């Protein structure tokens, strides 16, 4: 059963990536992979996937489109008047920090 699971995982990896690197870059990557106990390929794929995920997340967090952009800018430039609950929370905060 282990063999069939491994074959199933391998069959999902149909795409290939290639990159040219300097000798120093390759040595550095190989050293990092060895420290993690993985192959260079596994290290590169995991590192690239992590970087890609972070880049996409950062972009999505910083990008506001259309109406969301207008709502955000309007809220920053024209903040609403605090309601009673917000005023009470501010008083509690000032008391807690000793102001």
Tokens of 55: 């880049």
Closest CA to 47 of 35, 59, 63: 35
Give the pTM.
0.54
Domain ranges (residues) in the chain: 2-97
Residues 52-76: tens digit of each pLDDT:
999 998 887 767 677 788 888 899 9
Closest CA to 88 of 79, 77, 96, 80: 96
Q: What is the pLDDT of residue 12?
A: 83
Closest CA to 43 of 55, 53, 29: 29
Mean pLDDT over 5-27 rounds to 82
Q: What is the pLDDT of residue 32?
A: 97
């Amino acid at each position: 059963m282990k063999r069939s699971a491994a074959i199933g995982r391998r069959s999902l990896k149909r795409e290939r990536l290639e990159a040219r690197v300097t000798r120093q870059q390759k040595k550095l990557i190989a050293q990092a992979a060895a420290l993690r106990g993985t192959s260079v390929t596994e290290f590169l794929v995991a590192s690239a996937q992590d970087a890609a995920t972070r880049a996409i997340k950062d972009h999505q967090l910083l990008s506001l489109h259309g109406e969301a952009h207008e709502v955000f800018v309007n809220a920053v430039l024209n903040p609403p008047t605090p309601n009673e609950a917000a005023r009470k929370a501010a008083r509690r905060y000032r008391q807690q920090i000793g102001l």
